[in-house]
Chain A
Amino acid sequence: MISKNLTAASTKPIILGILKQGNSYGYLIIKKIKEISGGRMKYSDGMLYPVLHRLEKEGLIKSNWAMENDTKPRKYYEITNEGKEALVTEKEQWQQVTAVLNEVWEINPSNNN
Chain B
Amino acid sequence: MFNLEGAIKDWLRQFRKHKAFNHGSVREMELHLRDHIEDLIASGHSQQKAFDLAVDEFGEIPSMAREEFQNIKTKRTFLSIIDITMLSNYLRIGIRNFTKQPFFTTLNTFGLAIGMAGGLLIALFIYDELSFDRMFSDADRIYRINIDNQTSGEYSQYASAPGPMADVLHQDCPQVELVTRFREVGSTLMRKPDATLNVKEAYVTGADSAFFEMFGIELLDGNKNTALKQPKSLVLTESVAKKHFGDEKALGKSLLLDDTEEYVVTGVMADLPKNSFLRNHGVYISLSSYKDEHTPAWNTWYFPTFVKLKPYTNAEDLQAFLDTVKERYLIPWAMTFVPGLTIESSRAADKESGNFMKFNTTALTDIHLYSSNREGEFSANSDMQNVYIMSFIGFFLLLLASVNFMNLSTAQSLKRAKEVGIRKTLGSNRLGVIRQFLTESFLISFLSLWLAILIALIVMPFFNELSGKSIAIPFEQPIFWLLLILATFFLGLFSGSYPAFFMSRFIPAHVLKGSLSNVGGGKIRNSLVVFQFAIAVFLIVSTLVVFQQVNFIRNKDLGFQKDQILVIDDIYAAGNQLESYREKVKQLAQVESVSLSSYLPTPSSRGGTTYFSEGAIEDETFKSEKAMIIEEWDIDYDYITTLGLEVVAGRGFDKKFGTDSAGIILNESAVVMMETTPEKVLGTRLTKDIHREDKENTEYFTVIGVVRNFHFETLRNRIAGLTMVLGGKPNKMMVKLSGGDFHSTISSLEKTWKEVAPGQPFNYYFMDESFNETYRAEQRLGSIFTIFTMLSIFIACIGLFGLAAFNAEKRTKEIGIKKVLGASVRTITYQLSIDFLKLVMVAIIVALPLSWYAMNQWLQDFSYRIEISWLTMVIAALLAIVISIVTVSYQSIKAAIVNPVNSLRSE
A contact residues vs B (CB 8 Å cutoff): 25-27, 30, 43-47, 49-51, 53-54, 57, 65, 72-75
Contacts and interface: CB of A to CB of B under 8 A. Distances in A.
A72 to B, nearest CB: 6
| Across the A-B interface, the 10 shortest Cβ-Cβ residue pairs | A44-B59, A50-B67, A27-B35, A50-B68, A46-B64, A46-B59, A45-B58, A46-B58, A27-B32, A53-B71
B75 A57 contact: yes
Given A30-B32, A73-B31, A75-B24, 18 more contacts: A26-B28, A26-B31, A26-B32, A43-B59, A44-B57, A44-B58, A45-B36, A45-B58, A46-B60, A46-B64, A47-B64, A49-B64, A49-B68, A50-B68, A50-B70, A51-B67, A54-B71, A75-B28
Q: Is the interface of B mostly helix, strand, loop or mixed?
A: helix
Contacts of A30: 32
A53 B68 contact: yes
Contact of A44 (B24, B35, B64): B64
A65 B28 CA distance: 10
A75 B60 CA distance: 22
Contacts of B58: 44-46
A45 B28 CA distance: 12
B71 A57 contact: yes
B61 interface: yes
Contacts of A74: 31
Contacts of A72: 31, 34-35
A45 B63 CA distance: 12
Nearest to A56: B71
Contacts of B25: 49, 53
B493 to A, nearest CB: 30
Contacts of B60: 44, 46
Contacts of B34: 72
A8 to B, nearest CB: 10
A47 B59 contact: yes
Contacts of A65: 24
B472 interface: no
Nearest to A51: B67
A27 to B, nearest CB: 4
Contacts of A43: 59
Contacts of B380: none
Interface string B7-28: 0000000000000000011011
A47 B67 contact: yes
Interface string B228-248: 000000000000000000000
Nearest to A34: B57
Interface centre among A45, A57, A73, A74 (most CB of B within 10 A): A45
Contacts of A45: 32, 36, 54, 57-59
Q: Is the interface of A mostly helix, strand, loop or mixed?
A: helix
Contacts of B61: 46
Interface residues of B, number: 23
A53 B67 CA distance: 10
Interface centre among A25, A49, A65, A74 (most CB of B within 10 A): A49
A75 B22 CA distance: 14
9 contacts: A26-B28, A44-B58, A45-B58, A49-B28, A50-B70, A51-B67, A54-B70, A72-B31, A72-B34
A72 B32 CA distance: 11
Contacts of B28: 26, 49, 75
Contacts of B57: 44-45
Interface string B68-97: 101100010000000000000000000000
B29 A49 contact: yes
B32 to A, nearest CB: 5
Contacts of B71: 50, 53-54, 57
A43 to B, nearest CB: 8
Contacts of A49: 25, 28-29, 32, 64, 68
A69 to B, nearest CB: 14
Nearest to B61: A46
B835 to A, nearest CB: 54
B240 to A, nearest CB: 74
A85 to B, nearest CB: 21
A30 B58 CA distance: 10
A51 B60 CA distance: 15
B69 to A, nearest CB: 8
A27 B36 contact: yes
Contacts of B27: 73
B659 to A, nearest CB: 106
Contacts of B54: 45
A50 to B, nearest CB: 3
A47 B63 contact: yes
A54 B67 CA distance: 9
A68 B81 CA distance: 37
A46 B34 CA distance: 13
A33 to B, nearest CB: 12
Contacts of A27: 31-32, 35-36
B76 to A, nearest CB: 13
A51 B66 CA distance: 12
A34 to B, nearest CB: 9
Interface in B33-75: 34-36, 54, 57-61, 63-64, 67-68, 70-71, 75
A51 B67 CA distance: 8
A45 B53 CA distance: 11
A11 to B, nearest CB: 11
A92 B54 CA distance: 35
Nearest to A50: B67
Nearest to B66: A50
Nearest to A57: B71
B38 to A, nearest CB: 10
Interface in B290-312: none
Contacts of B29: 46, 49
A60 to B, nearest CB: 13
Contacts of B24: 65, 75
Nearest to A75: B28
Given A27-B35, A45-B59, A75-B24, A50 B75 contact: no
Contacts of B36: 27, 45
